[in-house]
Structure 1
C-alpha cells in the first residue's frame, strides 16, 4: 500500500487509525477508520461482551500465527530469523499424523509466507463485519540478524527504513463450532520478515455491537512478568508484541483502544540456503561434459564411442526402460526392463524438416545434496550450507540446429520436462524442432526420480545399414518403497510422503539445472573439435509443468540464465493437490489413511472411487466471508496450510517476486514470459493467479483460451471431432497429436512464441494466433482468473 500524503483529514474519528493531512497515510486506512465508527443504542441489560481469546498456552486459543510459539535458534548454527518454530506436540500415540506434521513444521525458522490466520473469540461474531479493514497485517521490518546487533535485543527490524505496509485478508471463514475466524493473507508476505497481525473493534458480535479488546491481551501487555514467573519465552514475546504495536502506532497512527488483539510473527526463510549452494556452484570449475558413452559395434569397447548422431540418420529409437527388479535364486536382484518404441518422438523433429541437424547424448558430474532418505539435511539459514552427499552423473540429450555453427556457438534453451513419464527423452522432442528452426539448440536432463531406473538404455538404429548403437538413458528413478517396481516418477516423492512430499526433490532438481548452466559455461564440445558448440552467454530456459515449477527456482537465482519461458506453472503445491483433477483423489487417500482420519465424507468410499469427494469448504478469493457448516473441514484446512508452509522453500509462488519485482542481490531482473491455459485441470488457474499476483507478472503472461477452442469448430463443444483436450495442460507440447487436430496447430503457435522470444533475446513477445486471433490473449485481458473454469 503506497503512502498517500493527500489523504483527507480524519481527526477525532473513533476507529483503529488516526490520520491527518500531510502524514504518510493511505486513503485505505482513513476509510477503515470511518467504517469502524458505530453508534450503539441502549438495549436493556448488558450482555457479556464478545472479545478475542488471548490464552497463549496453545495456538488455538490466541491469534495465530504468533512468535509465542517459537524458541531461539541454535547459536552454533543460527537462522536468519534467530528463531525456530516450536508448536506444542499432541499425544503422539493417538494422533501420530498430527505429531509427524508438527515435528516437520518445528524445524522451520518462521511461519508461512501465505499464512492461514486463526482468531478465536469468546462468543459469536457477525462474519459480514470481517474484512481487510477489521483484520490486517502490518509489515514491521526484516528479521534478519545484523552484524552490529550484539545487544540481545529483539529489534523487530528497527534498523530498516522501508515504509510499513498494510496487507489485508481474503478467503475468510467463520467456524461457529469453535467460535474461530480463519482467513488467508491477501498477498504473499516477504521471507524472514516480522509482521503484526491486528484484530480491531471493527468486527461486530452477532448482535451488531463492536467486539471489545481482549482483557487478557491488555493485561499481558501491561504485565511486568511477575505473574508468569518471568517465563523467558513469554517475556521475549511480550517485548516483541509491545515493540510491534508501538511501531505500528508510530508509523500508521493506530488507535490503541481500537485494537482488540494482536500477534507478532516472523516469516520463514526461503532462498538463502539455495543461494549459497548456487554460489558454491558458481565458484567451481566443473569438468567438461563428456559425450564418449555410446556402445557402437564399429568402435572397440563398450561405452567409449562418441554419442553424436545425424538426426536424419536415426531410423528407430527404442527405450529399454529399467522398470524394477526380479529376485534371483541366489537372493540377488536383477534389473527388469520393458521395451518402449520412442521412434514417434524422433519423427516429431521432422515437423520442421532439416531444422535439427544432430542429436547428442552426454553426461556431467553434479553434486547431490539429497541424503538417502530423500531429504536435504537441514542447516541454519543465516550462513549454513548442506554437505554434498555424493557426486553423481547427470545425463542429457542435446539437439543442435542444422547449418553453420555461429562463431560463439549456438544459443541454447534448457528444456524442463513435466511430471511422470515426461522425461528428457520424450517431451523435449516436441519442441526441439521449433527452437532449431530459429537457430537455437535444446538440452534436457531428467529431474530427480524421473526416467525410470539407472540401468535403462536407448537403442538407436542408424542409416544406412541399420547399425544399432546404444546409449545410457540416464534414468533417475529408484525403488523407493521396496516393492521391486520403479514407477515413472518413483524417487521423486518421499515414501511415505508426509507433508514434504517432493519439496527437496524439487530443490535438488533446481540445483541440477544450475550445475548444467555452469557446465555449459566451461564449454560443451559435442563433436570433439576443441571448440564449444554452445554459446554460454545465451543460455535460456523453457519449462513445462514440473519443468516450470522447478525451473523458476533456478531462473530466479542463477545469473547465467538470460531469459525464460515458464509454461503452465502451478503456484502452490497443496493447491495443486486440492484442486487438480489428477491429484485430488490422491490427497483424499492421504486424508483417509491418516490417523486421525480427516476424510470427511461418510457417503463416499475411500480408499475406492470416492476419494476426491472430501469437503474442505474453502472459499475462492474475493468471496464474502463464509460460515462453516461442514464437519471436519477445519481439520483439512489446517493440514493444507501446514503443507504449504512446509513446502514454501520450493514453492513457485515464493520465487515469483524474485523474477523481476524484487530481484535477489547480484541477480539482475531478466526477461520472462509466462504461458497459462484457461481451465487447466492440472495447474489450477486459481493457484497460478496467486503466483502472478505475487510476482506482478500479469503483463508478462499469455493466456491460451482453451474454452474458446473447445467451443469453436471442429470441436463445437464436444459435438465434433477432432477436438482439443478438455485439460489444456499440455498445450505447448501437443505436437504429438494428429496433424489435423486443433491441438497440433495450437502447440506450434505457442512454440513459435517461445522460439521468437529467445531468438530476440527476450525482447519480443508475439501473439501466437495474431493480433486479432481469439485463442491467445497477450497479455491477459481483464482480471486474473479466480475460478477453475474446468470443461466437464
Structure 2
C-alpha cells in the first residue's frame, strides 16, 4: 500500500519556527489605519476554477487570460488553466483595503482541510505596501487533490475572511505512466519486448574506456576514469527499449486526470552500463542497484558510483537522463586484451537551439509555450525510463544460460539530479525495494534560484518574461526579495520584485507534477536513506529541507558535515563520486549496506563528520555556504 504522509498528526518543526518568526521579527512598520482593513481578495480560491467532471478533483483552473503580460507569461497562464487544482505550496495572497501589520496578520492565517482536522500556519511572509497585499506560503506542503479552507482571523488592524481552494492531482501523471508500464500496455503499444540487449562484456582489469562524444559539428574523445574495482569485476555495455511520452518540445501532453494519462508517442533505445562484482553470480543473478546520474553527467558516472557496491557483492547499472550523454552518434571506445571495440553509447542530446552544437544537457528542458515547466516532463520521462529498466532486468550477460542481473528486489541510488528523479521513482514505483537519495532537493525552480551554479537559468527565464529588475550581475540581474523558510516577514522595496515572485510561484506550480518533493510523501521511511551535504552550493540545503520535510523523512536523513573536514572550503555537492575524499567511500559504504541489507550505518563510526540521523532539521534551513556568497 502506498504511504501518504503529507499531513502529520503533529505540527512540524517548520510550523513552530514559522509561527515564532512571524511573532518575533519586526517588519517595516505599516502605516497606521483609522479602521480595520477590509480583505478585498484572497488567492488561491475555487472561484478561479470551473467544474470539469473529466478531472479527479472535479475542477479545472480558470485564471484570467486578459492582460496576462508578455507571451511567455500568457503561455504560462494557459498551461496552468489545464490543471485540475492549485499548487501544493501555493503563494497565498490576501489583499487589504489599507495597510496591516505583516507579522501579526500572518500569525492569524491558517490553512485547514475542508473535511478533516489537519491544519498549518504560514511562513515565507512578504508584505507589498504598494498594493496592501500580504503574501505567504503554507508552513507545510499540502496534499494533492484535497480541498482546504484558507482563513484569516480578524485582529486589531484587519477584518476576517476565508475561502476554499483545491490542490491539483500532482502525483497522478507519473502514476499513470507507471501503471501503463506495469501493466505492459505502454510496451505493447510500441512493440517493446522487455529485456536488455548486451553488446559488450569486458573484464574490468586491463580495460580502458573512452567516450567519443557527438557534439554536433565537432566530436570529442574523452577518456573515462575507471577506479580500482575488486579483482574479477566485469564491465557491461548494452541497451534496452523504453516507451516515450515526450513530444518534440520536451513536454508530455496534458490530459484530463481521470483518463489514465496520454498514450506513449514512440519508443527509444536507451543505453545501459553495468559493473558486476567478481565471481560467479548467485542463482537468479546478482542483486542489482540502478544508479541515477546527475545533471550534466551521463552513464560514465556509473563507473565511479559502483565501487562500494562491487565490494559488497552488488551489481550497478544505469542509463542516460533525457537530453544527456551528447548526441546519438556518441560511442564507447573500449580497449581490452589488445583489441579495440566501438559501441554506441546512445546519447540522448539534441541540437535544441539550432546552433550546430550539442551540449551535455541539451534536450532536457522544455521549449515553446511549456518552457516555464523547464525539466518537469524530462524528469517524468526519465523516471519512467528507470521503471522500464527495472522491469528489463533478469538478464543473461555472459550467455551461459542463467541470469547475471537479478530482476527481483531491485534497489536504486542516485546522485544530485539522480536523487531528484530517484525520489520520484521511489515514491511512484513500489517495484523499487530500497533507495539511497544522495544530495537531492526541490522544487527545481528553487534550486535554480538559490544555487550560484544555476541562478543564470532563472535569469534566462525571467529575461524571456521581461521581468529582470537589476543591473547587478552578481545577483543575476534580478532581485526577488524572497525570504527562506523560517525567516521573518520581508517588506518589498525593490520595483519588480513582486512580479518576479508571482512568475516563479506560477512556474513552480506548473512544474510540481515533475518535482521530487511531490513524491517524497509516498515513500515509506524504511525504504529510503537521504544523504545531504552541509553547505551544498549546487542543491542548496533549504531545498533538501523541503524534500525531506514533505515526506517526514528526518529519521532517515544522513548529514555529511563537510564543514568539519579539510575540504570545508569547497562545495561538497559531488562528494559521493570524488573518490579521493574519505567521504566518498564512506558514503558509498552506507549506500551499499542499506541497499543490500536495509541497515543504516554511520559511515564514520560515530565521529563528528557524519550525523546519522541528522541531529537538528533546522540545520538545513539556511544556505550554509562556506565561501562568502551574495544572498539572492
Q: Deviations over 1:587-627 (max 9, x none)?
A: 12332342xx32222x42xxxx4452522111122223222
Per the alignment, residue 301 of structure 1 pairs with: none
The alignment status of 1:445 with 2:351, answered yes or no, reads: no
Is contact 1:585–1:611 with CA below 8 Å preserved after alignment?
A: no
- Give matches, 1:708-747, under 5 Å: 708-709=564-565, 715=566, 723=567, 726-735=570-579, 739=580, 744-747=581-584
The alignment status of 1:340 with 2:222, answered yes or no, reads: yes
Report the 3-state secondary structure (helix = DSSP H, G, I; strand = E; otherwise coil) of the residue aligned with 2:312. Answer: coil
Q: Deviations over 1:336-369 (max 9, x none)?
A: 4211122xx12x1x1x441x62111111111011
The alignment status of 1:105 with 2:80, answered yes or no, reads: yes
Per the alignment, residue 672 of structure 1 pairs with: 528
Q: Deviations over 1:633-687 (max 9, x none)?
A: 1111111111110110011111011002xxxxxxxx7520000011111111111
The alignment status of 1:289 with 2:195, answered yes or no, reads: yes
Residues paired across the two proteins, number: 595
Determine the C-alpha separation between the residues in 2 that align with 1:559 and 1:456. Answer: 33
Determine the C-alpha separation between the residues in 1 that align with 2:279 and 2:336. Answer: 21
Per the alignment, residue 56 of structure 1 pairs with: none
Is contact 1:136–1:197 with CA below 8 Å preserved after alignment?
A: yes
**Residue in structure 1 matching 2:179, options 279, 283, 295:** 279
Determine the C-alpha separation between the residues in 1 that align with 2:395 and 2:8. Answer: 48
The alignment status of 1:84 with 2:60, answered yes or no, reads: yes
Per the alignment, residue 26 of structure 2 pairs with: none
Is contact 1:115–1:185 with CA below 8 Å preserved after alignment?
A: yes
Determine the C-alpha separation between the residues in 1 that align with 2:477 and 2:355. Answer: 29
Q: Deviations over 1:440-462 (max 9, x none)?
A: 00000001000001111111111
Report the 3-state secondary structure (helix = DSSP H, G, I; strand = E; otherwise coil) of the residue aligned with 2:272. Answer: strand
Is contact 2:99–2:129 with CA below 8 Å preserved after alignment?
A: yes
Per the alignment, residue 376 of structure 2 pairs with: 503
Is contact 2:230–2:311 with CA below 8 Å preserved after alignment?
A: no
Per the alignment, residue 403 of structure 1 pairs with: 279
**Residue in structure 1 matching 2:90, options 97, 115, 124:** 115
Determine the C-alpha separation between the residues in 2 that align with 1:189 and 1:339. Answer: 48
The alignment status of 1:361 with 2:237, answered yes or no, reads: yes
The alignment status of 1:138 with 2:11, answered yes or no, reads: no
Mark the runs of 5 or more structure 2 residues left unpaired by the alignment: 1-6, 11-15, 24-32, 628-632
Report the 3-state secondary structure (helix = DSSP H, G, I; strand = E; otherwise coil) of the residue aligned with 1:263. Answer: strand
TM-score (norm: length of structure 2): 0.90
Over 3 Å counting, the alpha-carbon distance change for 1:524 and 1:724 in structure 2 is: farther
The alignment status of 1:310 with 2:203, answered yes or no, reads: yes
Q: Deviations over 1:562-600 (max 9, x none)?
A: 100000001211111110111112312332342xx3222
Report the 3-state secondary structure (helix = DSSP H, G, I; strand = E; otherwise coil) of the residue aligned with 2:241. Answer: strand
Report the 3-state secondary structure (helix = DSSP H, G, I; strand = E; otherwise coil) of the residue aligned with 1:674. Answer: strand
Determine the C-alpha separation between the residues in 1 that align with 2:301 and 2:37. Answer: 59
Report the 3-state secondary structure (helix = DSSP H, G, I; strand = E; otherwise coil) of the residue aligned with 1:63. Answer: strand
Over 3 Å counting, the alpha-carbon distance change for 1:392 and 1:498 in structure 2 is: closer
TM-score (norm: length of structure 1): 0.73
Structure number with bigger Rg = 1
Determine the C-alpha separation between the residues in 1 that align with 2:8 and 2:211. Answer: 57
- Give matches, 1:437-586, under 5 Å: 437-463=311-337, 466-495=338-367, 498-520=371-393, 523-586=394-457
Q: 1:288 Cα shift?
A: 4.6
Determine the C-alpha separation between the residues in 2 that align with 1:291 and 1:588. Answer: 42
Determine the C-alpha separation between the residues in 2 that align with 1:725 and 1:495. Answer: 37
Determine the C-alpha separation between the residues in 2 that align with 1:364 and 1:169. Answer: 47
The alignment status of 1:619 with 2:483, answered yes or no, reads: yes
Determine the C-alpha separation between the residues in 2 that align with 1:532 and 1:409. Answer: 5
Report the 3-state secondary structure (helix = DSSP H, G, I; strand = E; otherwise coil) of the residue aligned with 2:459. Answer: helix
**Residue in structure 2 matching 1:63, options 24, 42, 55:** 42
Q: 1:48 Cα shift?
A: 4.3
Per the alignment, residue 423 of structure 1 pairs with: 298
CA RMSD of aligned residues (A): 2.1
Report the 3-state secondary structure (helix = DSSP H, G, I; strand = E; otherwise coil) of the residue aligned with 2:371. Answer: coil
Runs of 4 or more, structure 1, over 4 Å off, are 1-4
Per the alignment, residue 631 of structure 1 pairs with: 495
Per the alignment, residue 791 of structure 1 pairs with: 626
Determine the C-alpha separation between the residues in 2 that align with 1:670 and 1:471. Answer: 40
The alignment status of 1:178 with 2:131, answered yes or no, reads: yes
Determine the C-alpha separation between the residues in 1 that align with 2:194 and 2:111. Answer: 50
Report the 3-state secondary structure (helix = DSSP H, G, I; strand = E; otherwise coil) of the residue aligned with 1:756. Answer: helix
Determine the C-alpha separation between the residues in 2 that align with 1:449 and 1:775. Answer: 36
Is contact 2:372–2:461 with CA below 8 Å preserved after alignment?
A: no
Report the 3-state secondary structure (helix = DSSP H, G, I; strand = E; otherwise coil) of the residue aligned with 1:201. Answer: coil
Over 3 Å counting, the alpha-carbon distance change for 1:766 and 1:389 in structure 2 is: same
More RCO (CA 8 Å, sep 6+): 2
Is contact 2:274–2:302 with CA below 8 Å preserved after alignment?
A: no
Determine the C-alpha separation between the residues in 1 that align with 2:556 and 2:240. Answer: 34
The alignment status of 1:694 with 2:550, answered yes or no, reads: yes
Is contact 1:588–1:611 with CA below 8 Å preserved after alignment?
A: no
Determine the C-alpha separation between the residues in 2 that align with 1:2 and 1:747. Answer: 34
Q: Deviations over 1:70-120 (max 9, x none)?
A: 1122x5xx111111111101336x632321221121111110001110000
Determine the C-alpha separation between the residues in 1 that align with 2:125 and 2:167. Answer: 21
Determine the C-alpha separation between the residues in 1 that align with 2:526 and 2:241. Answer: 28
Determine the C-alpha separation between the residues in 1 that align with 2:396 and 2:266. Answer: 26
Is contact 1:291–1:360 with CA below 8 Å preserved after alignment?
A: no
Q: 1:408 Cα shift?
A: 2.2
Q: 1:290 Cα shift?
A: 4.3
Is contact 2:230–2:278 with CA below 8 Å preserved after alignment?
A: no
Determine the C-alpha separation between the residues in 2 that align with 1:364 and 1:783. Answer: 41
Per the alignment, residue 630 of structure 2 pairs with: none
Report the 3-state secondary structure (helix = DSSP H, G, I; strand = E; otherwise coil) of the residue aligned with 1:536. Answer: coil
Over 3 Å counting, the alpha-carbon distance change for 1:621 and 1:292 in structure 2 is: closer
**Residue in structure 2 matching 1:681, options 528, 537, 541:** 537
Report the 3-state secondary structure (helix = DSSP H, G, I; strand = E; otherwise coil) of the residue aligned with 2:409. Answer: strand
